[in-house]
Amino acid sequence: MSDQAATANSTAKTGQEQAVAAWIDYLNQARLDRLIRTFRQQDVHLAAAVGSINDALLEINKVVASNRGGTKGMHGFIAEVAEVGIGNARDLIVGQEARYEWVDDNGPIDLLRSGVGIQQKFYAAGGRFGLGAVAEHFARYPDYIANGNRYQIPKDHYETIRGLLRMSEQDASALSRSAEGPSFRDWKRVQEFFANGAVPFESLEPAHLDYREVQQGTYRETLQAEEASVRRTYQTRRDAAHMASRPSIAEAAKATGAAAAVEGSAAFITAVLAKRRAGTKLSDFAADDWAEISEQTGVGFATGGVRGLSVYVLTNFTASPAAVANAVVTAGFGIAEQANRFRCGEISEVEFIENAETVALEASVSAVSSLIGQAIVPVPVVGTVIGNTVGMLMYRTAKESLSTREAAIIAQYLEEQRTLRAQLTAEHQELIDELNAALTTYLDLLERAFSPDIGTALAGSIDLARVLGVSDDEILDSDDKTLDYFLL
C-alpha cells in the first residue's frame, strides 16, 4: 500500500471513529435538551396552575365580601368557583388545557367542562346528600340530562350515595344513624330515589372537594392545600423527567451496537480495498482471503463495541467531551497494540515508547481538531468529521515535512561530525609527535646532565637549564661566574 493510500485510510478511520463519538454525544445532548425543554414547560405549567388557584381565591373573596347567596347559599358559589379553579389547576399542572368555565348566570348550568354543562348541588339539608336538590332541578329542567348535561355533588356525598346504592338490604339493616355514617333510613331514601330511573346514577359525578371544604371558614385552607398538592405534582413530574433523562442501559446498548456496526463495516471495506489494491480481483478472492477479511471485520466489530460503550460511559459519567473520550479510547487501543508487539519481541523498548507517544499525539490531534470543527461548524457529526479530517491532514503534512527536514538536519550533522573527527584526529597525532620529540630531547638532556663524567654533566646541565628557560645571566657556564657565585 502506498504512503498516500495509507494516509487516506488512516484519516478516514479517525474520521469514522470521531463520527461515532459525535453521534453518541448527539444522543446525550438530545436527551439533555429534552430535559431542559421539559423543565421549562413544567415551570410554565406550575405558574398557570398556581395562577388558576389564586384567581379562584380572589373570586371567592369577592363572594364572601358581598355575602352573595346569604348564609345558606354562599357555600354553593364558593364550591362553583373552587371547582373551576382547582379543576383547571389540576389540568394545567400536567400540561393539559384548562377545561372548566364558570357560567355564573343563574341559569340551569353552573359550570362548563369541555362544553358539557354541570349543575352543582352542595346541599346537606334533609339528610339526602343533595339528591333532593337534584330532583328539584330536574323537575324544572326535564331535558337537562337528555341534553348531555350532568349533576355534580360533593365528593364525600357521592361516595356515600354510591356505597348505599351498592349495599344490600341485609347489610343496610345493620346501619345506625350517627356521626360516623349513614343510617338504614338513608339507604332507603337512596334506593327509592334511583328506583324510578328519572335521574340515573350515571348522570351524577363527584366534585373535586368534600362538602366541608367549601365553607366560608375553610375555603382558604382548602385552596392552600390544593396549591401545595399542585407543587408536589410539579416536583414529582420534574423528578420523573430527570430520571427519564438519565443514561440508560438501553441507550448504552444502542450506542454500543451502532458503533460496532459502523466500525465493523469500515473494517470490512478497508480489508476488501486492501486486497483490491494488491491486485486481487473480487472474483479471485480465495477462502484464505475471505477468512482474513472476516477476522479483520470481527476485530472491527469488537473494537467498535468497546469504543461505543466506553465513549458512552465516559461522556455520561465523567463529563468528558465525546472527542476527548474517543481519543482516550483510541490511545488505549494503540498503546495496547504496541505493548503486545513489545511483548512479542517485534519492537524494542525505545521503539515501544516512541510509538506510544506517537499514538497518544495523533489521538490528541484528532480530539482537538474535532472539537474545533464542531465549534466552527455546529452541525451534529458533520462538524466533528470535517474538523478531524482537516486537522489530521494538516498534522500529517506537517509531520512529513518535519520528517524530511529532520532527516536533512541529521545528515548535515553527521557530515559535520565526520569532518570534525578527522580534523581532531590529525591535530591529535601532530601533538603526540611533538610531545614524543620533546620528550626524547628532554630525556637526552637528563641523561647528559646526570652523566658520571663531570665535563659531560656540566655541559648537559647548562643545556637543560637553557631548555627549561633559565636566562644566560643566571647560568654558571664559565669559571668567572662560578667563582663569583660561590665566593662573593
Coil/strand/helix, residue 100: strand
Does pLDDT of 410 surpass 50?
A: yes
CB–CB of 330/21 below 8 Å?
Answer: no
Confidence (pTM):
0.61
Same domain, 66 and 192: yes
Instruction: Specify if 215 maps to a domain.
Output: yes
Q: How many domains does the chain have?
A: 3
- pLDDT reported for residue 377: 45
Higher pLDDT, 133 or 126: 133
Question: Of 407, 436, 470, which residue sits at a domain end?
Answer: 407
The letter for the amino acid at 363 is A
When the pLDDT of each residue in the chain is averaged and rounded to a whole number, the result is 76
Q: Is 456 helix (H, G, I), strand (E, B) or coil?
A: helix
Both 99 and 41 in one domain: the answer is yes
> Do 86 and 208 meet the contact criterion of CB atoms below 8 Å apart?
yes
Task: Give the pLDDT of residue 343.
Answer: 79
What pLDDT score was predicted for residue 130? 87
pLDDT per residue as tens digits for the range 200-244 = 999 999 999 999 999 988 999 999 999 999 999 999 999 888 888
Residues 384 and 434 in one domain: no
Contact assessment for residue 43 and residue 37, using Cβ atoms and an 8 Å cutoff: no
Q: Give the pLDDT confidence score for residue 438 in this predicted structure.
A: 72
Please say whether the beta carbons of 322 and 21 come within 8 A.
Answer: yes
Q: What is the pLDDT of residue 104?
A: 86
pLDDT in tens, 156-199: 999 999 999 999 988 888 886 555 678 888 898 899 899 888 89
Which residues on adjacent β-strands are paired with residue 204?
Answer: 151
Asked if 196 and 177 sit in the same domain, the reply is yes
Cβ count near 463 (within 10 Å): 17
Residue 306 has pLDDT above 90, yes or no: no
Separation in Å, CA 251 to CA 24, 39, 72, 112: 9, 22, 61, 45
Look at residues 204, 232, 231, 218 and name the one whose alpha carbon lies nearest to residue 79: 218
Residue 328 in domain: yes
Instruction: Round to whole Å and give the CA distance between 305 and 264.
Output: 9
Query: Alpha-carbon distance 19 to 239, whole Å?
Result: 33
Higher pLDDT, 236 or 424: 236
Do 100 and 202 reside in the same domain of the chain? yes
Mean pLDDT for the stretch of residues 9-22? 59
Rounded CA-CA distance 206/163 in Å is: 13
Helices (H), 318-453: 322-343, 349-376, 382-449
d(CA 147, CA 199): 13
303 and 335 both lie in a single domain: yes
Alpha-carbon separation of residue 214 from 62, 222, 244, 392, 402 (angstroms): 15, 7, 38, 73, 86
Strands 204-206 and 116-120: unpaired
pLDDT at res. 411: 60
Grid cell digits, residue 110: 353552573
Q: Which three cell numbers stand for residue 72?
A: 345558606
420: in domain: no
pLDDT of residue 337: 67
Q: Which of 407, 438, 455 is the last residue of a domain?
A: 407
Are 480 and 466 within one domain?
Answer: yes
Domain boundaries, position 118: 36-242
Residue 153 confidence class, pLDDT cut points 50, 70, 90: very high
pLDDT of residue 145: 93
Mean pLDDT of all residues in 315-344: 66
Q: Domain check: are 288 and 370 in the same one? A: yes
Is residue 188 located within the same domain as residue 311?
Answer: no
Q: What's 246's DSSP letter?
A: S
Check if the beta carbon of residue 119 is closer than 8 Å to that of residue 152.
yes
- Collapsing DSSP to helix, strand or coil, 111 comes out as strand
Distances (CA, A) of 400 to 367, 392, 405, 461: 20, 12, 9, 72
**In the chain, % of residues over pLDDT 70:** 61
| pLDDT tens digits, 40-53 | 999 999 999 999 99
When pLDDT is cut at 50, 70 and 90, the band that residue 351 belongs to is confident
